[in-house]
């Protein structure tokens, strides 16, 4: 089940620009809390991108069960490379969260070490202070564990991958009939359509049919439809209908967005996705995401310590604009340190972990 010979796993710098935009959309959503939905656009784009990149590795390197040759050794290399990329910087962020201290991390350390934060938040029925965003990292890790085995079953069959897209939607609808719709959103099956959309993009990347729909106007129409659904549905029945359908619609919009950029390199340059600043931010996007929700907790404690109760400065300094102005340089320094001292050295080490022939 290898990829065709004309689909090399080449470095695409514009994807770092996409990462930068996606992660800062999430940061602005969490820090400034605008009255419109923004952060989910970044999260969905990340999940579709994960599906695209991981499917490329699984198919090109043949790291799925039953592949020709020593597939178990290649699969072990795949998991080890994933661990080196994700776990050390993630554990460093957990250590900082425990030192702050963030109560949920201190009280339930094993759930975060596994990582299974999404399962923890689901069982608690609430987010942890300063660590609620870690549910997406848990879903991503669970996706890495599942996807090679799942692609061994589906193969490179478009219909089967479309069935996975339908399965994600069906899970959210079915689970939403049993529990509050938003609760099931943080479980891995609820994101199957996003990961499957990225996998479909990798499979269809070089087909003429995809080239015909990878147009800027279709991208705009797809995201406009997503926003229209949000405006029309998010207030109905407490937003239950919106929660059930928006990931599938967003998967289509992110799929078209990435397809358009991959098929039109000039578009990425015109949009500024190849600007050195965006490329720099994109490389450090993992650190940005790891620390961005912990910093507002730290900032709140500093403000409460320095300014007494009843002081007008408290409300002013904890407003969206001061929070962005104060915390942005701190977050950039933290993410730069994570990249320089942890992620980049591990990436160099990862190059020595080659897949067996």
Q: What is the pLDDT of residues 136-149, one digit of tens each?
A: 999 999 999 999 99
**What average pLDDT score do residues 175-196 get?**
90
Tell me what the pLDDT averaged over the chain comes to.
93
259 pLDDT above the threshold of 70: yes
**What average pLDDT score do residues 279-296 get?**
97
pLDDT computed for residue 135 by the predictor: 97
Where does the pLDDT of residue 7 fall: very low under 50, low under 70, confident under 90, or very high at 90 and above?
A: very low
Where does the pLDDT of residue 4 fall: very low under 50, low under 70, confident under 90, or very high at 90 and above?
A: very low
**What average pLDDT score do residues 305-309 get?**
89
- State the Rg of the chain over Cα: 21
pLDDT computed for residue 9 by the predictor: 59
**What average pLDDT score do residues 232-259 get?**
89
pLDDT computed for residue 302 by the predictor: 94
**What average pLDDT score do residues 185-189 get?**
96
In the chain, % of residues over pLDDT 70: 96
Residue 113 burial (C-beta neighbours within 10 Å; 0-12, 13-18, 19+): middle
349 pLDDT above the threshold of 50: yes
Where does the pLDDT of residue 237 fall: very low under 50, low under 70, confident under 90, or very high at 90 and above?
A: low
In the chain, where does DSSP find H-type helix? 14-32, 39-61, 71-99, 103-107, 109-113, 117-124, 134-154, 158-176, 192-204, 208-213, 216-233, 240-263, 265-270, 276-283, 285-291, 294-306, 312-317, 320-338, 344-350
Two structure tokens written together for 124: 């608690």
193 pLDDT above the threshold of 50: yes
The domain ranges of the chain are 14-350
5 pLDDT above the threshold of 60: no
pLDDT computed for residue 333 by the predictor: 98
């Amino acid at each position: 089940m290898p990829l065709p010979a004309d689909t090399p796993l080449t470095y695409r710098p514009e994807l770092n620009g996409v990462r930068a935009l996606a992660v800062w959309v999430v940061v602005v959503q969490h820090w400034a809390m605008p009255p419109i939905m923004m952060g989910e656009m970044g999260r969905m784009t990340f999940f579709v991108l994960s599906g695209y990149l991981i499917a490329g590795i699984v198919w090109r390197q043949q790291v799925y069960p039953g592949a020709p040759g020593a597939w178990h050794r290649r699969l072990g290399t795949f998991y080890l490379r994933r661990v080196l990329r994700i776990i050390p910087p993630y554990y460093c962020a957990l250590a900082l969260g425990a030192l702050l201290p963030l109560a949920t991390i201190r009280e339930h350390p094993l759930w975060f070490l596994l990582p299974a934060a999404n399962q923890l938040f689901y069982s608690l029925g609430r987010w942890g202070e300063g660590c609620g965003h870690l549910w997406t990292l848990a879903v991503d890790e669970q996706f890495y564990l599942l996807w090679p085995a799942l692609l061994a079953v589906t193969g490179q069959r478009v219909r089967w991958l479309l069935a996975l897209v339908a399965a994600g939607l069906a899970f959210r609808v079915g689970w939403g009939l049993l529990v509050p719709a938003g609760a099931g959103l943080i479980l891995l099956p609820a994101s199957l359509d996003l990961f499957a959309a990225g996998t479909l993009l990798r499979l269809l990347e070089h087909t003429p049919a995809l080239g015909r729909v990878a147009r800027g106007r279709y991208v705009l129409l797809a995201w406009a439809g997503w926003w229209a659904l949000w405006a029309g549905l998010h207030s109905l029945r407490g937003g239950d209908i919106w929660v059930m359908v928006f990931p599938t619609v967003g998967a289509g919009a992110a799929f078209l967005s990435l397809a358009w950029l991959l098929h039109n390199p000039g578009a990425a340059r015109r949009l500024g996705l190849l600007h050195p600043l965006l490329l720099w931010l994109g490389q450090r996007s993992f650190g940005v995401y790891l620390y961005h929700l912990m910093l507002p907790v730290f900032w709140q404690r500093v403000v409460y310590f320095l300014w007494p109760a009843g002081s007008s400065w408290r409300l002013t300094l904890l407003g969206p604009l001061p929070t962005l102005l104060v915390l942005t340089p701190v977050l950039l320094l933290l993410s730069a340190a994570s990249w320089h001292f942890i992620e980049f050295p591990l990436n160099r080490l990862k190059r020595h972990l080659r897949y067996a022939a």
